[in-house]
C-alpha cells in the first residue's frame, strides 16, 4: 500500500465538514463575508497581490532584526537563483504595488483591503499556524488622526458584526523618529539599571532593539517592563498632539479602548499610532488583529513619501472565536427531493427559486429512495424540504416541511411563491 501523505505541520485544511468547527467552510464564509461587508462599507476596495515576493522586500520592509525576517520566513531560490519568500504578511507587498503602479503621483489616497494566506515558520499551537490567513486593510495618503481613528474603529466593527464580545482594543503610540530615538535612550538607561533581572534576549536588545523589551514574555522582564518609563514623556509635541486627537476621536466614536504602553508591535515599520485587538479566549495567542501607522515605509522602499496606516486580522483566530460561541448554519435553505419522474421539474423549480431569491437550494440528484433523500436533507443541515411526486406536480402545489420544527406549509410550485414563503418563514 502507498504511504498516506499529510498536510505540512501548521497548515490547515478548511472543509465543509471538519472535526474542528473553526476549520469549517461555513465559519470561514461568515468571517470573510462579514469582514468584507464592513470594510467595503468604509470605501475600501480589494487588491490581489502575489503570495511570493523578492526576499529583499520583506527584509527591508519588515526589518532584518525582527523575528519574522530573522527566523520565520519561508525563503527559497527559484530556478533563476533569485531569492524569493512566501509572504509573511500583506503590508510590504501592498506598498510595493502602490509604488510600482505610481499611485503617489496619480491618486495617493488609496483604500485597499486584502485576504489571503501568509506564511511564518513559528511553533504551531492553538491560534498560531505556519500558513494562516489575514484580512487586512491599508489606507495611503492620509496623515490626519481621523484616519487612525477610523481604521481602528473599522477593525472593531468587524468584531462587533461577527458578534464577538470578548475583544479589547488596545492603542499606543511609538511617536515620530525623534520621539522614538529619545525614548530608546531613556529605555536603555532603565534596562541597564535592571540588567541583572533581564533575560538574555533582552540583554541583547539593550543595544539592538530596546522597544521589544516592553513586550518580552519572560515573567521577570515583564515585571521590570511594567515599571518602565512611559513613551508619553519622550513624545515630541507633534506626536503628543496626534495621539491625543486619535484617542479623542476614538472616545467620540464610543470605542472603549485601553492605552497599552507595552504595545510596540513586532514589525519595524511602525511610527506614531499602534493598536491591537486582544481577547482572553485564545490563551497565549491573544491578538485577533493588529496594525498601526507606517508613514516612513513607502519612502524607505523607494517611493514618494506618503503617509500610511493599516491593520490585519487573523482569520483562524476570528474563526476560533466565532466557532466557540455560535452555531453557523451553512446548509441549504431548501432541499428538494424528487420522486422518480419528477427530476426535470425539480431541476427547473430549484433554478427558479435560486434566481428569485438569495436562497441555497439543493436538489437530490442521486436517484435514491425518499428515505435516503430525507436522510441527506438532515445531514446537510437543510432548513426546509419539499418532496415532489406525481401528485404534487399535477396539483402544482406541495408541502414545505420545516425540518427544525416538523411543521408544514402548503405552497404553490413556482419560484416566486416558494421565495415568498421562505422569506416569511425564515424571517
Ligand atoms: P501582525 O500583528 O504580525 O501584523 O499580524 C496581524 C494578525 O495576524 C495577528 O494579530 C494575528 O491575528 C494574525 N497572525 C499573525 N501571525 C499568525 C500566525 N502565525 N498564526 C495565526 N495568525 C497569525 C501584520 O501582519 C501587519 N502587516 C498588520 C498591518 C497592516 N500593519 C499595518 N497594516
The CATH number of residue 396's host domain is 3.40.50.800
Q: With 0-12 CB in 10 A as exposed, 13-18 as middle and 19+ as buried, what is 9?
A: exposed
Q: Are residues 294 and 265 in the same domain?
A: yes
pLDDT bin (cut points 50, 70, 90) of residue 386 is very high
- Which residue out of 291, 293, 313 has the highest number of ligand 1 atoms within 8 Å of its CB and is therefore the one to mutate? 291
Q: Could you tell me if residue 388 is inside a domain?
A: yes
Task: Select from 292, 325, 358 the last residue of a domain.
Answer: 325
Share of the chain above pLDDT 90, in %: 94
**Using a 6 Å cutoff on CB, does residue 72 contact ligand 1?**
no
Helices (H), 109-236: 145-161, 177-193, 200-208, 219-226
Q: Could you tell me if residue 158 is inside a domain?
A: yes
> What's the CA-to-centroid distance between 276 and ligand 1, angstroms?
10
> What's the CA-to-centroid distance between 73 and ligand 1, angstroms?
14
Q: Are residues 101 and 147 in the same domain?
A: yes
What values do phi and psi take at 362, rounded to 5?
Answer: -115, 130
Mean pLDDT of 344-368: 96
Give 295-319 pLDDT, tens digit per residue: 999 999 999 999 999 999 999 999 9
Please say if the pLDDT value at position 244 is more than 90. yes
Give 275-294 pLDDT, tens digit per residue: 999 999 999 889 999 999 99
* CA angle (117 as vertex; 116, 123 as ends), nearest 5: 150
pLDDT bin (cut points 50, 70, 90) of residue 158 is very high
Give the whole-angstrom CA distance, residue 344 versus residue 390: 12
Q: Are residues 129 and 242 in the same domain?
A: yes
**Which ligand 1 atom minimizes the distance to the CA of 266?**
3
Give the whole-angstrom CA distance, residue 89 versus residue 136: 9
Task: Select from 290, 305, 325 the last residue of a domain.
Answer: 325
Q: Are residues 250 and 123 in the same domain?
A: yes
Please say if the pLDDT value at position 181 is more than 90. yes
> What's the CA-to-centroid distance between 184 and ligand 1, angstroms?
24
User: Which residue has the CA at smallest separation from atom 12 of ligand 1?
Assistant: 314
Strand partners, 112: 45, 138
- Mean per-residue pLDDT over the chain, rounded: 96
User: Which residue has the CA at smallest separation from atom 1 of ligand 1?
Assistant: 290
CATH number at residue 44: 3.30.930.10
Q: Could you tell me if residue 368 is inside a domain?
A: yes
> What's the CA-to-centroid distance between 1 and ligand 1, angstroms?
41
**Which ligand 1 atom minimizes the distance to the CA of 90?**
27
**Which ligand 1 atom minimizes the distance to the CA of 134?**
8
Q: Could you tell me if residue 207 is inside a domain?
A: no
pLDDT bin (cut points 50, 70, 90) of residue 17 is confident
Supply the pLDDT for residue 284: 87
Pairing status of strand 397-402 against strand 407-412 = antiparallel
**Using a 6 Å cutoff on CB, does residue 311 contact ligand 1?**
yes
Q: Are residues 154 and 63 in the same domain?
A: yes
Q: Are residues 34 and 126 in the same domain?
A: yes
Give the whole-angstrom CA distance, residue 363 versus residue 354: 11
User: Which residue has the CA at smallest separation from atom 17 of ligand 1?
Assistant: 128
**Using a 6 Å cutoff on CB, does residue 93 contact ligand 1?**
no
**Using a 6 Å cutoff on CB, does residue 30 contact ligand 1?**
no
pTM summary value: 0.93
Q: Could you tell me if residue 195 is inside a domain?
A: no
Q: Could you tell me if residue 6 is inside a domain?
A: no
**Do 369 and 420 contact (CB within 8 A), yes or no?**
no
Q: Which residue has the cell 533575560?
A: 199
Give the whole-angstrom CA distance, residue 169 versus residue 161: 15
Task: Select from 267, 292, 325 the last residue of a domain.
Answer: 325
Give 65-78 pLDDT, tens digit per residue: 899 999 999 999 99
Mean pLDDT of 235-256: 98
**Using a 6 Å cutoff on CB, does residue 275 contact ligand 1?**
no
**Using a 6 Å cutoff on CB, does residue 120 contact ligand 1?**
yes
Q: Are residues 355 and 248 in the same domain?
A: no
pLDDT bin (cut points 50, 70, 90) of residue 427 is confident
**Using a 6 Å cutoff on CB, does residue 129 contact ligand 1?**
yes
User: Which residue has the CA at smallest separation from atom 22 of ligand 1?
Assistant: 314
User: Which residue has the CA at smallest separation from atom 25 of ligand 1?
Assistant: 89
Q: Are residues 156 and 256 in the same domain?
A: yes
**Using a 6 Å cutoff on CB, does residue 205 contact ligand 1?**
no
For 257, the domain range is 21-176+236-325
Q: Are residues 57 and 158 in the same domain?
A: yes
Coil, helix or strand at residue 274 = strand
Strand partners, 28: none
Q: How far is CA 422 from the centre of its chain?
A: 32
Mean pLDDT of 261-270: 94
String of DSSP letters for 88-117: S-SHHHHHHHHHHTTHHHH---EEEEEEEE
> Cα separations (Å) of 1 from 4, 7, 256?
9, 19, 59
Mean pLDDT of 160-171: 96
Supply the pLDDT for residue 207: 92
Give the whole-angstrom CA distance, residue 314 versus residue 289: 6
Supply the pLDDT for residue 1: 81
**Which ligand 1 atom minimizes the distance to the CA of 294?**
32
**Using a 6 Å cutoff on CB, does residue 273 contact ligand 1?**
no
What's the number of domains the chain is made of?
2
Please say if the pLDDT value at position 420 is more than 90. yes
Q: Are residues 312 and 340 in the same domain?
A: no
**Using a 6 Å cutoff on CB, does residue 91 contact ligand 1?**
yes
Coil, helix or strand at residue 273 = strand
pLDDT bin (cut points 50, 70, 90) of residue 332 is very high
**Do 243 and 235 contact (CB within 8 A), yes or no?**
yes
Q: Are residues 279 and 346 in the same domain?
A: no
Supply the pLDDT for residue 330: 81
> Quick one: DSSP state of residue 287?
E
> What's the CA-to-centroid distance between 329 and ligand 1, angstroms?
28
Q: Could you tell me if residue 204 is inside a domain?
A: no
**Do 237 and 175 contact (CB within 8 A), yes or no?**
no
Amino acid at each position: 500500500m502507498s504511504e498516506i501523505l499529510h498536510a505540512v505541520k501548521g497548515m490547515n485544511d478548511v472543509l465543509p465538514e471538519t472535526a474542528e468547527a473553526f476549520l469549517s467552510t461555513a465559519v470561514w464564509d461568515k468571517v470573510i463575508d462579514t469582514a468584507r461587508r464592513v470594510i467595503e462599507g468604509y470605501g475600501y476596495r480589494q487588491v490581489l497581490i502575489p503570495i511570493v515576493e523578492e526576499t529583499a522586500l520583506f527584509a527591508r520592509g519588515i526589518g532584518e532584526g525582527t523575528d519574522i525576517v530573522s527566523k520565520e520566513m519561508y525563503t527559497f531560490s527559484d530556478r533563476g537563483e533569485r531569492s524569493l519568500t512566501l509572504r509573511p504578511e500583506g503590508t510590504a507587498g501592498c506598498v510595493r504595488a502602490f509604488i510600482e503602479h505610481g499611485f503617489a503621483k496619480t491618486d495617493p489616497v488609496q483604500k485597499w483591503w486584502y485576504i489571503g494566506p501568509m506564511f511564518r515558520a513559528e511553533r504551531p499551537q492553538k491560534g498560531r499556524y505556519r500558513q494562516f490567513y489575514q484580512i487586512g486593510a491599508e489606507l495611503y495618503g492620509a496623515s490626519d488622526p481621523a484616519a487612525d481613528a477610523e481604521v481602528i474603529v473599522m477593525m472593531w466593527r468587524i468584531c462587533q458584526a461577527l458578534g464577538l464580545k470578548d475583544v479589547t482594543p488596545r492603542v499606543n503610540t511609538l511617536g515620530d523618529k525623534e520621539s522614538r530615538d529619545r525614548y530608546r535612550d531613556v529605555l536603555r538607561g532603565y534596562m541597564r539599571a535592571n540588567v541583572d533581572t533581564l533575560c538574555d534576549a533582552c540583554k541583547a536588545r539593550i543595544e539592538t532593539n530596546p522597544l521589544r523589551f516592553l513586550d518580552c514574555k519572560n515573567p521577570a522582564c515583564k515585571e521590570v517592563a511594567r515599571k518602565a518609563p512611559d513613551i508619553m514623556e519622550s513624545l515630541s509635541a507633534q506626536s503628543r498632539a496626534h495621539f491625543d486627537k486619535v484617542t479623542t476621536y476614538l472616545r467620540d466614536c464610543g470605542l472603549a479602548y485601553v492605552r497599552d504602553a507595552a504595545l510596540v508591535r513586532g514589525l519595524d515599520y511602525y511610527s506614531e499610532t499602534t493598536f491591537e485587538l486582544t481577547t482572553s479566549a485564545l490563551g497565549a495567542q491573544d491578538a485577533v488583529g493588529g496594525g498601526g501607522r507606517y508613514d516612513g515605509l513607502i519612502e524607505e522602499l523607494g517611493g514618494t513619501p506618503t503617509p500610511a496606516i493599516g491593520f490585519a486580522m487573523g482569520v483562524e483566530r476570528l474563526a476560533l472565536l466565532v466557532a466557540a460561541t455560535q452555531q453557523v448554519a451553512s446548509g441549504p435553505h431548501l432541499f428538494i427531493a424528487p420522486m422518480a419522474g419528477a427530476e426535470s421539474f425539480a431541476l427547473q423549480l430549484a433554478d427558479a427559486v435560486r434566481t428569485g431569491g438569495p436562497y441555497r437550494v439543493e436538489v437530490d440528484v442521486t436517484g435514491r429512495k425518499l428515505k435516503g433523500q430525507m436522510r441527506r436533507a438532515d445531514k446537510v443541515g437543510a432548513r426546509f424540504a419539499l418532496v415532489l411526486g406525481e401528485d404534487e406536480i399535477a396539483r402544482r402545489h406541495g408541502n414545505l416541511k420545516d425540518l427544525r420544527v416538523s411543521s408544514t406549509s402548503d405552497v404553490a410550485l413556482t419560484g416566486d411563491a416558494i421565495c415568498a414563503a421562505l422569506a416569511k418563514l425564515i424571517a
